[in-house]
Chain A
């Protein structure tokens, strides 16, 4: 029953969602679709609570057992509940200036900082990966050089042919490859979704096979 009930619920909800997404006409289709959308949002919010309870349990256990680095668990719990208390009792809605300041002055710059480190990783990965080891690696290297030059004004300054070649790579071999991957991945995604829907794939139950 522990396994069958979630699978049955998932199957029924999934089928209703598929039908109301693909079909239109009667008013009930629209109503059911909208209602299920709200349920999805509510279920998502409820899932956050599941996460909060689980984190409290795990970190609480670490603190009471004085496990290695237990003091970091205190930091994690203080941050989690601190933000929660601020949001529910002080800020109350997402337009609160406190929230906005917190997000735009702390979270956003930190995110931008980590994101911008990517440029360094791109440089070191390119330096390490683009070696003329064999014919395939050489093709990869030549395409990379053309793209790097062709997508910046420097390429056109060297030769007007470079941007044209870069556009060709982007529009022909790239699109062909991307479409192949996208079509294959789409079928893989649909098949995985169906396996979950009919209960063949149960990994999301956390290994309760």
Chain B
């Protein structure tokens, strides 16, 4: 019996975890969300930009990052459109173009006056990793073979007359799950060109991102689903991240419960073996 508490079959943990997450997503209870300093810094930085400023959005993730990064991307784009900020986006990850399309498609229906090519441009994915990023700084047209993610010539898009490369951006916001990601942007763009960089990252990357925020190399961070939920609260549009925080809360609680059970089993088993 004792060994069972300390050694629960992992399949039981998996089934319970799945059930808890599903129930919380279907029936959210709406736990209160407090905005952190890191998220507020990103919000304030966008808020301070003059209307018409161009911001580079780096969609450096693929399908796995959608649950945590897509809500952040949507909330940030929403905030930008409210402030008349314009966006140029792309990325070094193969799904960069699709991720950008997904984010803008979700937001544009609330901003009927915003037009593609005027208020935002999606350059999409281009191969070459940091080599491409390096080329994008000065000559976006050359680095992107002169077309956007949908095959439209960049020369035909009005926004691209004002955006010759990332050097023309007032700020960069990148959505990252791994490599290439934050260090590549710091090394290639923000350090030599002094363009402010904000990061939205998945939870696993948060500990590794903190040194960059702490040193000021990254101005702020929308960190994990928690950060995305905070941004949704800031722009008054609660979405999937706010709902996801309930699921995350209960999932964490379940894991903690199992850790406690495991330790009780461990202590009892140890006492038992000493008594023998």
Contact = CB atoms under 8 A, between A and B. Distances in A.
A–B contact with Cβ pairs below 8 Å: the answer is yes
Interface of A: 33-34, 37, 40-41, 44, 93-95, 100, 103-104, 107-109, 111-112, 114-116, 119-120, 122-124, 126-128, 130-133, 141, 144-145, 148-149, 151-154, 156-157, 163, 167, 170-171, 174-175, 178-179, 182
Nearest to A160: B34
A103 B31 CA distance: 36
Contact of A182 (B211, B248, B255, B263): B211
Interface string B41-72: 00000000000000000000011101100000
A184 to B, nearest CB: 13
B211 A145 contact: no
Given A119-B251, A153-B32, A111 B210 contact: no
Given A152-B249, A171-B214, A145 B259 contact: yes
Contacts of A182: 211
Contact of A37 (B131, B245, B250): B131
Given A100-B98, A151-B224, A156 B34 contact: yes
A178 B259 contact: no
Contacts of A171: 210, 214
Contacts of A107: 63
Given A95-B150, A154-B252, A175-B210, A103 B226 contact: no
Nearest to B266: A131
Contacts, number: 136
Interface string B128-164: 1001101100000000000001110000000000000
Contacts of A123: 13-14, 17, 251, 254-255, 258
A124 to B, nearest CB: 4
B63 A127 contact: no
A97 B258 CA distance: 47
19 contacts: A33-B134, A34-B135, A37-B128, A40-B131, A44-B127, A111-B62, A112-B63, A112-B64, A122-B255, A123-B255, A124-B10, A127-B13, A132-B266, A144-B259, A149-B252, A151-B252, A152-B249, A170-B210, A174-B210
Contacts of B36: 167
Contact of B31 (A41, A126, A151, A153): A153
A37 B135 contact: yes
B234 interface: no
| Among B94, B251, B262: residue with most chain A CB under 10 A | B262
B142 to A, nearest CB: 9
B219 interface: no
| Among A131, A149, A167: residue with most chain B CB under 10 A | A131
A104 B210 contact: no
A127 B255 contact: yes
B252 to A, nearest CB: 4
Interface in B243-276: 245-246, 248-256, 258-259, 262-263, 266-267
B106 interface: no
A170 B207 contact: yes
Contacts of B251: 119, 123
A182 B215 CA distance: 13
B95 interface: yes
Contacts of B207: 170, 174, 178
B150 A151 contact: no
B249 to A, nearest CB: 4
Contact of B14 (A95, A124, A126): A124
Given A103-B95, A126-B259, A153-B245, A120 B64 contact: no
B31 A154 contact: yes
Interface string B185-211: 000000000000000000100111011
B31 A157 contact: yes
A170 B32 contact: no
Contacts of A111: 62-64
A88 to B, nearest CB: 16
B33 interface: yes
Given A124-B10, A127-B13, A170-B206, A148 B262 contact: no
B248 A108 contact: no
A130 B98 CA distance: 39
B8 interface: yes
Contact of A163 (B34, B210, B254): B34
Nearest to A96: B151
A151 B203 contact: yes
Contacts of B245: 152-153
